[in-house]
Chain A
């Protein structure tokens, strides 16, 4: 799968994002890492040029509350509804429903075993093949965890 890993917002701690990048590459995926401090508009452009199938968003400093839903919204407006979105980082449980409602399909917290993320991608691509909703702008309801 072609996957873009992005860090929206202003925090510069991207060790987590880099580790995920490595894990996904080792799992046989093509990963494009955007670097830190990306605006939603920049992330949309990268997704389009790279023809990504999935987007992983890393957030450690509260960017998830505003920026992740905003990115999801802009993806839908830009015709990127079929792209799968997952999130990782410091995202409190109480905020999960809002993200799932925005179209995020999985949320990975600190200490997640790398196998879990690979398994999510396997499951999600099988769902996609069966024509079940997986994309950010497709029917909300199913999420992996």
Chain B
């Protein structure tokens, strides 16, 4: 008996067999709720985050141009390029590599997080699996490192690179957001700018205050390439830290928990009831708990 395949399954099969158009389309389906049923070996993932203007996209560009020379196939999920500037910058990096005729080895997809009030956590894992099954050997998740939801998305990657500008203020912001604890590697970018060495030193002294500090730091210039090769080897050899793995799992769990809350059908009614004082916060939590139990 011939089995009728759904449109999604057909797209998925085509994507896995290397059809890029189908891959683009299946990612859209996943964004709107499709859950592909595939099993893959653990994908190689890197989360890249940092404040706006730190040079994340340019740095990613510098890293991927080196990786594709080694025969890697790189997929980038660029989460919420909320300013046209950052969105354009990443795509411009891909363009700079066109000369090497290797653009077949780079896949870049922008995701607007603001269109998903319940968070991206419900589908980012599926996207990673599909990309991996479609032959993308390294998968990079890029987010702007501001706010918890962004931090949590980057925790879906198995190794995290925090990119800082030469302005020491950025690093303090990172400490506040808790991202510094999650990052395996912290790099100060723009070593071509005078203050960067100072920022790098103060980063190191700040990290040295932690017990058992295992964060690896680098000073690089994505612009002129200084230090990029060393950073690349650190990323490739990045040791697994079990402590950080626990932190990452916690962020993933919180992220899914948030999504569940935000996707709760009666959320608006609850919020109204809270604002008029007819229920307490504790009542609201009980109501949501109960609703989930019944499901």
Report the count of interface residues on B (CB-CB < 8 A): 24
Residues of A within 8 A of B24 (CB): 48-51
Report the count of interface residues on A (CB-CB < 8 A): 25
Known interface pairs A48-B21, A51-B27; A32-B98 also in contact (CB < 8 Å): no
Known interface pairs A21-B84, A49-B107, A49-B108; A32-B20 also in contact (CB < 8 Å): no
The residue in chain A whose Cβ has the minimal distance to the Cβ of B78 is A32
Instruction: State whether A22 touches B107 (Cβ < 8 A).
Output: no
Question: Which of A33-41, A60-68, A91-99, A119-127 binds B?
Answer: A33-41
Instruction: State whether B88 touches A34 (Cβ < 8 A).
Output: yes
Q: How far is the CB of B104 from chain A (nearest CB, A)?
A: 9
Q: How far is the CB of A82 from chain B (nearest CB, A)?
A: 11
Instruction: State whether A33 touches B109 (Cβ < 8 A).
Output: no
- Cα A64 to Cα B262 in complex, Å, equals 46
Residues of A within 8 A of B9 (CB): none
- Cα A72 to Cα B192 in complex, Å, equals 42
- Cα A31 to Cα B88 in complex, Å, equals 10
Instruction: State whether B27 touches A32 (Cβ < 8 A).
Output: no
Residues of A within 8 A of B103 (CB): 42, 45
Residues of A within 8 A of B20 (CB): 48-49
Point out which of A2, A31, A32, A50 has the most chain B C-beta atoms below 10 A from its C-beta: A32
Q: Mark B68-110, 1 if CB is under 8 A from A, else 0.
A: 0000000000000100100111011011001000010001111
B115 part of interface (Cβ distance < 8 Å): yes
Residues of B within 8 A of A25 (CB): 84
Instruction: State whether A30 touches B112 (Cβ < 8 A).
Output: yes
The residue in chain B whose Cβ has the minimal distance to the Cβ of A51 is B24
B249 part of interface (Cβ distance < 8 Å): no
The residue in chain B whose Cβ has the minimal distance to the Cβ of A30 is B112
The residue in chain A whose Cβ has the minimal distance to the Cβ of B31 is A51
Q: Mark B100-128, 1 if CB is under 8 A from A, else 0.
A: 00010001111010010000000000000
A18 part of interface (Cβ distance < 8 Å): yes
Known interface pairs A42-B98, A45-B103, A46-B91; A33-B84 also in contact (CB < 8 Å): yes
Which single member of B88, B98, B107 contacts A33 (CB below 8 Å)?
Answer: B88
- Which residues of A are interface residues toward B (Cβ below 8 A)? 2, 18, 21-22, 25, 30-35, 37-39, 41-42, 45-46, 48-51, 78-80
Q: A46-B108, A51-B28 are in contact. List 14 more A-B contacts (CB 8 A).
A: A30-B112, A30-B115, A32-B110, A33-B87, A35-B91, A38-B95, A42-B94, A45-B103, A48-B20, A49-B20, A49-B23, A50-B108, A51-B25, A79-B21
Q: Top 8 closest A-B pairs, CB basis?
A: A51-B24, A35-B88, A35-B92, A33-B88, A51-B28, A21-B84, A33-B84, A30-B112
